[in-house]
A and B are shown apart, each in its own frame.
Chain A
Amino acid sequence: MRDEHDFEDFYVAVFDRLVGQLFLVTGNLQDAEDAVQEALTRAAVRWPRLRRYRVPEAWVRRVAMNLASDGFRRFRRRLAVAVRLRADLASRQAAPLEVPGLMDALRALPVAQRKVVVLHHLLDLPVEEVAAELGVPVGTVKSRLARARAALAARLGPGAGAGTESPHAQEGPHAQEGPHAQGGPHAQEGAGNHG
């Protein structure tokens, strides 16, 4: 019974937090709740062993992240038990308030890029830990981060894409590049060379 009490405490401690993180990945509260709930159910099955982990929450998050893929909606249809559990829920609250612009920008990213943004920028995991967590090469994490940050910067402004670990020194007034010729070379224009 001690295991079950432990699990109940664990569940209460992590559920909201994990749903918040997964919401950034799924862009949909229901999907986030279902992914976390399914991951916690799997954790409950393994709880006697999992409770000895240093950070069981990381295991649950990893499972939930894996579930929160493009195919999750298809997967969820097979979770008959989950559907029954959902039916037991009392009236649902409305969708969470959204930080202006952020969720639209995140939803415009592929799910794989949202995952690395959450793991690296929200949870501060180094890229190698993100790679281990997602089971992809480190290079893939870097590529996804670079693309995600560039896309976020385009939608949210440079500060959003520049990373969070240190502010960038601002350059002087930025040069306007001239229109680019398509498919061939042309003479230099607007180059800012300083001896």
Chain B
Amino acid sequence: MADLRERLAAQAEQAGRAARGPGAAATLRRARARRRRVLGGRVALSLLLVAGLGSLTARLLEERELAAPPPTTASVPRRVAPLWTASGAASEPLAPQDRTLRAAGDLVVATTGFGGPSGRTRAYDARTGKLRWTHRTGPNAFVTAVGNGMVVVAPQYGPLIGLELATGRERWRFGLAEGQGPESGTIAGDTLFVGTSFPAEGAVGPPVVYALELAGGRQRWRAVLDPGTDLQWAGPVVDGGQVLVADTLSHEGSAPASHLHALDAGTGRRRWKADLHAPTQGFFADSPVLAGSLAYLPTASGMLLAVDTRSGREVWRDQGGFPVLAGLRGGLLIALVNDRLVAFDAAGGTRRWQTPIGNGEGEQWAVLDGDAVLVAGGGALVAVDAATGAARWRAPVGPAVGRPVAAGERVYVAARDRLVAVDRSSGREVWAGTRLRPVTAPVVTSGRVVVATRDGTLLGFAP
């Protein structure tokens, strides 16, 4: 069978051959006519812009803006070979990436067979790469949750399957309705909380959140949310006796708005729901960040919202762009917003400092690492002081494909064609595994750094 790209190219060529247009001359005539109309309107627009720029400039001056971080002196990193190699993992992860490769004790758990009918879950000894067990999970398998000696896996449309982590023995299955797909789950104590959506085209069935007994798969409760929405990818957040889940629109126009829902962890009863002011579809892989009585989360409309977790009341918002949350430290909520790392006063939302990070292009990740924030994206790994926003170092590692992971004296980041280990204090590249194409962020466990590559291979490196 010809692959998808070849078929698309052949079809596009056929359509291009049949295309008929009015030609360049007619288009230019039309453009000239339109330009005359536009010029009249532009005068009025200019007046509006002049008025608006004054307030914008004043706002920018209120914030403390810091210089871009300096590049760390480049050094030639040591090229290293992996200690072990294991083939068979998924070469194309079913997003989000962290469903594909998970660390669990002395194991790494990976799924296989994306796009095919025979997806499996495999557990490898992280130290040696030896296959410990395999489970025939089903099409587009992914790991829903890991914890308390169990790993819960699922094909794209269920069922949820509970496996013993140590042996892979199947303990239970929990069936779902046709077309119902599980999102990520969260294990809290002896309970699995997992949201499900109906993601097929045209489906507007409401998402359902389940609380299942982790050991046996029995249902404790189910909560039905709003029609026309799908749940966000991130697993539910369980805190203070309630479960927080965010939704987004199934498709454009399928629901009037998206919400953050708070469910009672014991009964599933809805306590409140907060409007996310996002009448559009947008998926985020990160859960809301909780601190004190506030939850912070991004919205598909490009806002950062702070919501009171006791009532669902909106406390503050920032509308600067799609935020990527790093976390909270010292009363500051730190997030990437476009090409800047920004520290917000966590209680009130005032911007305390902001640091230019890169060109804002490409996917970016930000994680808190003690008193520093690590940002990967735009071709570099950058460390910034979490209290002041001052740049510590910048390592030109190349375009990242996942979040940086700090462990011991190193920070590890998967770049487009290599795995890089950087010194945590200086940003100096220490070693690099080259000629590989990672598809996930690395996981660090049992003294190994493990990464999955595009050709379906797992590689285990010494730290």
Contact = CB atoms under 8 A, between A and B. Distances in A.
Interface of A: 4, 7-8, 10-12, 15-17, 19-21, 23-24, 29, 32-33, 36-37, 40-42, 44-45, 47, 70, 81, 85-86, 88-90, 92-99, 102-103, 108-110, 112-113, 117-118, 121-122, 124, 126-129, 131-132, 136-140, 142-143, 145-147, 149-153, 156-166, 168-172, 174-175, 177, 180-186, 188-195
A146 B4 contact: no
A37 B12 contact: no
**8 shortest A-B CB distances, which residue pairs?**
A174-B118, A20-B16, A142-B95, A44-B31, A20-B12, A162-B115, A185-B217, A23-B15
A183 B116 contact: no
A99 B218 contact: no
Contact of A137 (B132, B138, B322): B322
Given A112-B252, A128-B361, A162-B92, 10 more contacts: A19-B21, A45-B31, A124-B5, A139-B284, A139-B285, A160-B4, A180-B173, A188-B170, A193-B170, A195-B132
B3 A159 contact: yes
Nearest to A139: B283
Nearest to B113: A171
Contact of A139 (B95, B173, B216): B95
B409 interface: no
Interface in B282-307: 282-285, 298, 300
Contacts of B95: 139, 142-143, 145-146
B96 to A, nearest CB: 7
A164 B3 contact: yes
B112 interface: yes
A188 B94 contact: no
A142 to B, nearest CB: 3
Q: How large is the interface on B (under 10, 10 to 19, 20 to 34, 35 or more residues)?
A: 35 or more
B219 to A, nearest CB: 6
A141 to B, nearest CB: 9
Contacts of B139: 150
Contact of A11 (B9, B23, B116): B23
B44 interface: no
Contacts, number: 300
A184 to B, nearest CB: 6
Contact of B1 (A98, A157, A188): A157
Interface in B128-171: 131-136, 138-140, 155-156, 158-159, 167-171
B281 interface: yes
A172 B219 CA distance: 34
A110 B115 contact: no
Interface of B: 1-5, 7-28, 30-31, 33-35, 38, 87-88, 91-92, 94-96, 112-118, 120, 131-136, 138-140, 155-156, 158-159, 167-177, 199-201, 212, 216-219, 233, 251-252, 281-285, 298, 300, 322, 361-363, 454-456
Given A185-B217, A188-B172, A96 B92 contact: no
Nearest to A153: B115
A36 B87 CA distance: 45
A2 B282 CA distance: 43
A143 B334 CA distance: 26
16 contacts: A16-B17, A20-B11, A20-B12, A41-B31, A96-B18, A99-B7, A99-B10, A122-B12, A143-B95, A153-B115, A156-B4, A166-B454, A171-B116, A174-B117, A182-B177, A186-B173
A143 B233 contact: yes
B214 to A, nearest CB: 11
B167 A195 contact: yes
- The CB with the most chain B CB atoms within 10 A, among A113, A143, A164, is that of A143
Contacts of B322: 137
B24 A7 contact: yes
A37 B22 contact: yes
A121 B19 contact: no
Given A45-B38, A96-B15, A185-B172, A192 B21 contact: no
A185 B216 contact: yes
